[in-house]
A and B are shown apart, each in its own frame.
Chain A
Amino acid sequence: EVQLVESGGGLVQPGGSLRLSCAASGFTFSSYWMYWVRQAPGKGLEWVSLIYNVGDGTSYADSVKGRFTISRDNAKNTLYLQMNSLRAEDTAVYYCARAGDFWSGYFDYWGQGTLVTVSS
């Protein structure tokens, strides 16, 4: 059974940093592109970032470019999102998601999400 479990969310002050993790199981993690998607409270979904299966390619939404860094450890079956210079508008539930068809841009499995709150 495919499982994605996020952790690392919490309350952080504006300008602070946080690192999210996503532990994957039930599939060959190193074969799939992986994604982060977020959802601000009461709002819609926003694609944040992607990383290729071996980590040799990444992409970011303009809203987080230069502040967030996606990475992965295929030996640990874990996806990460390092978030720096956090702003109030980064407050959201952050989901990790698996690429459909190994490297496609749609998401066939999602984690349950972890809440990040940026506030003083």
Chain B
Amino acid sequence: DIQMTQSPSTLSASVGDRVTITCRASQTISRWLAWYQQKPGQAPSLLIYKASNLQSGVPSRFSGSGSGTEFTLTISSLQPADFATYYCQHYNNSPYTFGQGTKLEIK
């Protein structure tokens, strides 16, 4: 099975900051990677699919990049609504595993 490793596990930042979260796959997954945002008590919501495609309705301050085994999610200018937990997930082949999550906290 493919393992997904996110870093950092926790990130403290301020409104207006640019932040980057990294996700590494244990083997190549081409660009079959998605990013999700989850707020406490809510279901996850899709941000990015196929590594860099922005889901409809997601603000353009979110962007994704990468291919193969290394991927990044960047938020260009943090807004108060962005403080949440973020997960990457590969879908190269079943089982479609998630990273362990990155909690983005207010500094």
Contact = CB atoms under 8 A, between A and B. Distances in A.
Nearest to B85: A44
Which among B44, B55, B101 has the greatest number of chain A C-beta atoms within 10 A? B44
Query: What DSSP secondary structure best describes chain B's contact surface?
Result: loop
Interface residues of A, number: 20
A50 B89 CA distance: 15
Given A44-B87, A44-B100, A100 B95 contact: no
Size category of the B interface is 20 to 34
A95 interface: yes
Interface of B: 1, 32, 34, 36, 38, 43-46, 49-50, 55, 87, 89-92, 94-101
28 contacts: A44-B99, A45-B44, A47-B89, A47-B95, A47-B97, A47-B98, A50-B94, A50-B96, A59-B94, A59-B95, A61-B95, A62-B1, A100-B34, A100-B49, A104-B49, A105-B92, A105-B94, A105-B96, A106-B34, A106-B49, A107-B44, A108-B46, A108-B49, A108-B55, A110-B44, A110-B45, A112-B43, A113-B43
